[in-house]
Amino acid sequence: MTRALDWDGCSNVRDLGGIPLERGGETRRGAVARADSLRRLSDAGWEALADYGVTRIVDLRLPEELAQDAPRAIGVEVVHVSLVGDVDPLFHEHLAEHPDAESYWAWVYVWILENRRDRVAGALAALADADGSVVFHCAGGKDRTGIVAALTLRLAGASIDDVVSDYVFTKDISRDWVAEAADDRERATRVLLTSTPAEAMRRALEHLDGKLGGVEAYLLGAGLSAGQLTRLRDRLAAP
């Protein structure tokens, strides 16, 4: 059974169910979905979101990104948790410090884990406290969304290998942006920025386990309560 969800207007929507758990079984379907920016949804896309049973949307985008959205009454609770803070950290200004996509994205993900712990915890708390199905998203559904998905799946009991497999499944929705590059150098930079190198997420998760105490200790230390931790785990992996 495919995990991809057909929400017209978005390209990176998928159910977090159907992923193997290390103790046996798999994550529950219909409970949590990940997506790219929902502002792209058509009317049919919003209907599909409602049919999925979504009662809460967790929006991980920056305030400046939210300001670009056209006003729309959607009838679903929206919780905004800007994962990287209220001001763009301008990660791309550090490209010269990293020789390839793997090094660059591993650095970005570790930076977020280490420097935005309260925001990461806030995003996962919003998932834990939702009634009914929940969807979370950023702009492209790759990096901020990828971190939240990775921690949620690790907490549920998915292996690093299976979390990485979910991460690299993310589609490239930036082909037009890459094609519009002015020259080969700019094109190479845009390819790097839109890539999903498996080892980048693996290195971030290994850093989480080896340097930050593992997902449970990290989230508790960042501000999640024990009850929220249990609810979030049970949302995807019932005892």
Q: E strands within the chain?
A: 14-15, 32-35, 54-59, 77-80, 133-137
Question: Is residue 6 included in any domain, yes or no?
Answer: no
Residues 6+ apart with CB under 8 A from 44: 8, 9
Reading the block at residue 98, the tokens are: 């990293």
The SS3 assignment for 77 reads strand
Question: Is residue 7 included in any domain, yes or no?
Answer: no
Residues 6+ apart with CB under 8 A from 165: none
Between residues 144 and 174, which one has the greater pLDDT?
Answer: 144
Task: Give the Cα separation of 201 and 170 in Å (integer).
Answer: 12
| Residue that is written with structure tokens 């998905």 in the block | 149
Question: Is residue 108 included in any domain, yes or no?
Answer: yes
Q: What is the CATH number of the domain that holds 62?
A: 3.90.190.10
Beta-strand pair 14-15/32-35: antiparallel
Question: Is residue 5 included in any domain, yes or no?
Answer: no
Reference 222, options 156, 136, 151, 138; nearest CA is: 151
Question: Is residue 120 included in any domain, yes or no?
Answer: yes
Q: Which domain holds residue 84?
A: 14-236
Question: Is residue 9 included in any domain, yes or no?
Answer: no
| Residue that is written with structure tokens 């990660």 in the block | 91
Q: Are 196 and 166 within 8 A, CB to CB? A: no
Condensed to tens digits (0 to 9), the pLDDT of residues 58-91 reads: 999 999 999 988 778 788 999 999 999 999 999 9
Question: Is residue 3 included in any domain, yes or no?
Answer: no
Task: Give the Cα separation of 143 and 11 in Å (integer).
Answer: 15
Condensed to tens digits (0 to 9), the pLDDT of residues 90-105 reads: 998 998 899 899 999 9
- Helix 144-156 to helix 101-115 angle, to the nearest 10 degrees? 70
In the prediction, which pLDDT does 189 show?
Answer: 77
Q: Structurally, how many domains does the chain consist of? A: 1
Condensed to tens digits (0 to 9), the pLDDT of residues 20-45 reads: 999 999 999 999 999 999 999 999 99
Question: Is residue 19 included in any domain, yes or no?
Answer: yes
Condensed to tens digits (0 to 9), the pLDDT of residues 174-201 reads: 676 677 778 877 787 787 777 889 999 9
Find the angle CA(35)-CA(37)-CA(41) to the nearest 5 degrees. 95
